[in-house]
Amino acid sequence: MQNLTIQATVDFNEVFSTKHGAIYQSDAENCWYIDFAGKLARFDYRNILKLKKAVYQIDIEDLLLNGANSPDLEILFICACDHCYVLSLVQIIALKELLQGTFVMLELNHIIQDRLYRLIG
Amino acid sequence: MKDILRVKCLLSADVEALINQQIKKEAHSSAIYLSMASWCNRNGYDFSGDYFFKQAEEERMHQLKFFKYVLDMGGNAVSPEITNVKAEYNSFREVFEEALDQEISVTQSIKNIAARCYKEQDFVTLEFLNWFFKEQREEEYKARRALELFEVIGEEGTGRWQIDKHVGQITYDSEA
């Protein structure tokens, strides 16, 4: 696992943030940086979709209701990705919220690009 | 801000998910036809057995067509897990009734994708789907005609033997 430092020259756009974390997009690198659980991790197109799938697949309700005997931890391991997350239930909910917001914003950005720039430009 | 998702993939997440569902449906369909071929063969309906073998191959071909489309457009095509394939049928006629049901359900499912594409104005996928709509015309026609043989010929006496002989001869050649 590596911790990345942000270079001053890298141009970041904040896509979405909550009080628990934030996701930034780098146009130059075609990727996203996720600032969450105390680290900044880089995700490319394939990996962020895999992370989204992994987080969305966690059955939070089941963990809450039937998880009495299991530790309150989930390990999120993404295939062919440098990062993994070990998260508590509260953090999972926070990460899910962050990702949901991010994908709504990306969708919105897509609509704006389609309607404004691609038509006129 | 750059629209990276769109740059990487032509399909929206929803359409991609629907097509992946369709891939699974076609695979399931192919497995069911294979099962029908097995049943017909076991029970002495040779021509119908061959007919369903051919249908199984066609459904597999449809599955791959969807599969490659998703990949070509930059999406993620998922190889599906197939369960719940019926192996036994109560009668010769039941096999054909279920075959028609199967085709109707496939047509409906493709219509559902097209409806979503209209909503999103995804005309590229719509155009791709047109081939399938034409194909479904043929598939439903063949399944319906096969089932009608049971009415026209009747199952009494050597009826089933006659029906079996005629199943393989059903063709659809409308160019409309």
Q: What is the ipTM metric for this complex?
A: 0.81
Averaged pLDDT, A73-89? 86
Backbone angles phi, psi at A17, to 5 degrees: -145, 150
E strand intervals along A2-113: 12-18, 21-26, 31-36, 39-43, 73-77, 84-88
* Domain-located, residue A6: no
Number of domains in chain A: 1
In A, minimum Cα distance to B120 occurs at A111
* Residues in Cβ contact with B33 at an 8 Å cutoff, skipping those fewer than 6 apart: B52, B53, B55, B56, B59, B99, B102
* Domain-located, residue A8: no
> Is the pLDDT reported for residue B143 higher than 70?
yes
* Domain-located, residue A4: no
Best residue in A45, A46, A78, A111 for a mutation probing chain B (most B CBs within 10 Å): A45
Please indicate whether, in this complex, the C-beta atoms of B5 and A45 are within 8 angstroms of each other. Answer: yes
Mean pLDDT of chain B: 95
Please indicate whether, in this complex, the C-beta atoms of B4 and A25 are within 8 angstroms of each other. Answer: yes
In B, minimum Cα distance to A24 occurs at B1
pLDDT of amino acid A6? 57
> Is the pLDDT reported for residue B150 higher than 80?
yes
* Domain-located, residue A1: no
Instruction: Among 1.20.1260.10, 1.10.150.20, 3.60.15.10, 1.10.3720.10, name the CATH number for the domain at B2-167.
Output: 1.20.1260.10
Percent of chain A with pLDDT over 70: 88
Averaged pLDDT, B140-147? 95
pLDDT of amino acid B22? 98
pLDDT of amino acid B153? 95
Range of the domain at A35: 13-120
Chain A residues inside the 8 Å CB shell of B5: 45, 106, 110
> Is the pLDDT reported for residue A8 higher than 60?
no
Chain B residues inside the 8 Å CB shell of A31: 4
> Is the pLDDT reported for residue B175 higher than 90?
no
Backbone angles phi, psi at A11, to 5 degrees: -95, 115
A–B CB contacts, 8 A cutoff, strictly below: 29
Nearest by CB to B1, from A45, A103, A109: name it: A109
Cα of first residue to Cα of last residue in chain A, in angstroms, is 42
